[in-house]
Every structure is written in structure tokens, then in C-alpha cells.
Amino acid sequence: MHRIQKIIKQGKDDCPNTARYSNLKQDCARITKHSNSVNSIFLYSLKSPDFLATVFYRFAHSVARNTSDSAKLLRYFSKLLTNLVQILSRILTQSHVDHRSTIGGGVKITHSFGLIVGSKAVLGKNVTLTQGVTIGGNFWKTNMEGRTMPIIGDNVFIGHHSSILGPIRIGSHVVIAPHTVITNDLKGNACYAGNPVQQILPKNKIITKTIRGIYLNDV
């Protein structure tokens, strides 16, 4: 969480301009690690809208970041390009991952259909997103920092059709069951479910090990 807080404070990625695509390399590494049938990332991205959504996001996010301090005309064309990429992503992947959000390396989208990640949302490393997940604002609610979007820690598995709404914080090493609605802060090393959300697994060494096994094996 310290790394995520640093990103929020600086307002930019925690890597230099020359290493902006390191996150995409981590995404590819996670795909190939758990899929023995993946022989070529390029071919896999062509036939898999799930991974294609990640590629579109990484490209649009990098373009916007690298041209944020450029001349006005260049910023205009970069904005046009990122918008076109976002539109193409919605058409081909049926998802919307806003390029203004910040997502750590190793993200995996298991099913992209209906996925929404709002602008200014912050996701840590090795987050797994499934179909129908919504990560966004909660109407007019803001926190003391002026944030409206969630901050999610590392190694979090989010079950299908779950909603994480508002300026809240989700700890690391968390499993969120399907159809869960979250509008309050959640501590790490636990499993949550329900509407309203409830902790269904306690925090101890055995459960923590089990949860880590879940997201590492992409169950």
C-alpha cells in the first residue's frame, strides 16, 4: 500500500518514462505463467478480447502520460488518439478501462464483457478482474483528499458482477466473491461477500495462505 500511496501523491506512475511498458511485460508474464496453451502473446491478443482490453489500456495510458507535458498541439492529438483507442476497445472487448486510471503490473482480465474501471481509480499489482465488475464513483461522494474513485491494493481477486464504489480503500491479499457491493473500506488478508459486504473468512495464517493461492492460480 505504501507504493500505491506514493503513486497517488505524485500523480503519476512509479516508473520512469523508459520503463512504462514494464507493466505490460508483467501482464504478459502472468498470462503465460498460468496458460500452457499460450505460445504467442501476439496471437493470443488477437483471439482474446480479455487480454486485448489490457493492451488497449496500456497503450492509451502510456500515450496520455508521455504527452502530458508536451506542446498544446501534441496534447490535442494525443487526446484524440487515446479517445479513438478507448472507443475501439469498447467495440472489440465490450469493456471500458479508462486510460486515466492507474493499474499495476500483472493485471489479468478473465472475461472483459461488461467490465468498467473509472478514471482516477488506482489498482495495485496482480489484480484479477472478471466480467461485469464495476470500479467507479458513488454519485457525489468524495473524501478529504478530494478523491471519488477506489484505491485497491495488490493481489486482489474481484468476482464477477461485483461493484466497488466511491473513495474507499481495499487492502492487499483480498478475495471478493461474485455479486458483492462494496462502499466502505476493507482490510487486507480476508475474503468478502454480500450486499452489504461482510467478511466471510477470518484473518489468520491459514486463510491468508489460501487466499494467496487463489489469486496466484487464478481460480
d(C-alpha 196, C-alpha 215), whole Å: 23
Q: What is the pLDDT of residue 21?
A: 64
Cα(103)–Cα(204) distance, rounded to whole angstroms?
28
137-149 b/e (C-beta count within 10 Å ≥ 16 → b) = bbeeeeeeeebbb
Question: Which among 101, 103, 18 is positioned nearest to 64, based on CA atoms?
Answer: 101
| Secondary-structure breakdown of the chain: helix, strand, coil percentages, each rounded to the nearest 5 | 40, 20, 45
**Eight-class DSSP state of 117:** E
Express each pLDDT in 22-48 by its tens digit: 787 787 777 776 665 555 566 666 667
What pLDDT score does 15 carry? 41
What pLDDT sits at residue 213? 56
Tell me: cis bond preceding 16? Omega within 30 of 0 counts.
no
Residue 183 grid cell: 462502499
The ranges assigned to domains in the chain are: 2-216
CA distance 189 to 194: 17
State the maximum Cα–Cα separation within the chain, in Å, rounded to a whole number. Answer: 56
Average pLDDT, the chain: 80
The gap from C-alpha 210 to its chain's centroid, in whole angstroms, comes to 22
- As a whole number of angstroms, the distance between CA 35 and CA 38 comes to 6
In this predicted structure, what is the pLDDT of residue 83?
A: 92
pLDDT score for 218:
46
Q: Count other Cβ atoms within 10 Å, centred on residue 87.
A: 12
The CATH architecture one would assign to domain 2-216 is 3 Solenoid (2.160)
Q: Quick check: 17 pLDDT over 50?
A: no
Neighbours of 59 (CB within 10 A): 17
Burial of 100 (0-12, 13-18, 19+ CB in 10 A): middle
